Amino acid sequence: MKTRSLVSVLLTGVLLLGLLAPASTAGAKGKKGGPQVVGTDEIDWGTNAGAGDLGPLGDALGQELVEASIGMADAKTVNFIIKVNSLPPNGGMPEISRYNWDFTINGDAFQLTGAWTEYLRGVCNPLHTGACPPPSDPGTQPFFLRQGPCTVGADCVVLATIQAVFDPAEGTITIPVPLEAVKGKPGSKIGPGVSTFGGTIYAAPAAVVSYASAPADTMIVDKTFVVPGGKKKKKK
């Protein structure tokens, strides 16, 4: 009964927010042939909670994960790209759908977490050092870059707020992360971390925080991306 009630609430939210949500801005794609696929996932939204086939709802929420890739936007910026089976026509689902990507760079843990809008977290985020920061406007498509690992009640350090690009035509969410923010450089290795949901990436219903017991989707990243560039060693 709890699962059915949650699904009913989510469906109502999808219908209402689909009418009220702002229009999407078209997103720029990464360089041609650049991004490297680092993970894939089956069509299985909701199976984590034993809820059965909820694929249509996962698509309506923009939470059915299918692929993850990493590529360079330019020499100083790396794109983390989440691909879903379907994004809402306006671009995203405000306040309801959250995306999370835990990763490491040269062994240090970081986390990207965000949504189409995150105004509730802008007012009070319980993960930020265990207390509410001064109210702030995170803008639209915000992703918080945090020093990980981060869990509820943990002392999470927010390094930057990054504006992502939601592209409904491609079904992608692109998060451009400055290498400087994560102390990255040519040759740095970007590998998978482990999220509180299991796996590396998750897409889940959100109300300030997300719960692993609710219907959601996760993806395992099983490949490492190496930041290109740097001096090559001469062959003897």
pLDDT value at residue 212: 66
Q: What is the pLDDT of residues 84-109, one digit of tens each?
A: 999 999 888 888 899 999 999 999 99
pTM score, whole prediction: 0.80
pLDDT value at residue 132: 65
pLDDT value at residue 48: 78
Band (194; pLDDT cuts 50, 70, 90):
confident
Average pLDDT estimate for 67-75: 97
Band (157; pLDDT cuts 50, 70, 90):
confident
Higher pLDDT, 148 or 39: 39
Band (122; pLDDT cuts 50, 70, 90):
low
For residue 228, is pLDDT > 50? yes
| Secondary structure string (H, E, C) spanning the chain | CHHHHHHHHHHHHHHHHHHHCCCCCCCCCCCCCCCEEEEECCCCCCHHHCCCCCHHHHHHHCCCEEEEEEEEEECCEEEEEEEECCCCCCCCCCCCEEEEEEEEECCEEEEEEEECECHHHHHCCCCECCCCCCCCCCCECEEEEEECCCCCCCCEEEEEEEECEEECCCCEEEEEEEHHHHCCCCCCEEEECCCCCCCCEEEEECECECCCCCCCEEECCCCCEECCCCCCCCCC
pLDDT value at residue 135: 63
Higher pLDDT, 230 or 7: 230
Average pLDDT estimate for 52-58: 79
Rank 47-61, 97-111, 129-143, 203-217 by mean pLDDT and report only the highest.
97-111
Average pLDDT estimate for 43-62: 84
Higher pLDDT, 170 or 26: 170
Higher pLDDT, 117 or 169: 169
Average pLDDT estimate for 38-44: 95
For residue 110, is pLDDT > 50? yes
pLDDT value at residue 9: 39
pLDDT value at residue 153: 54
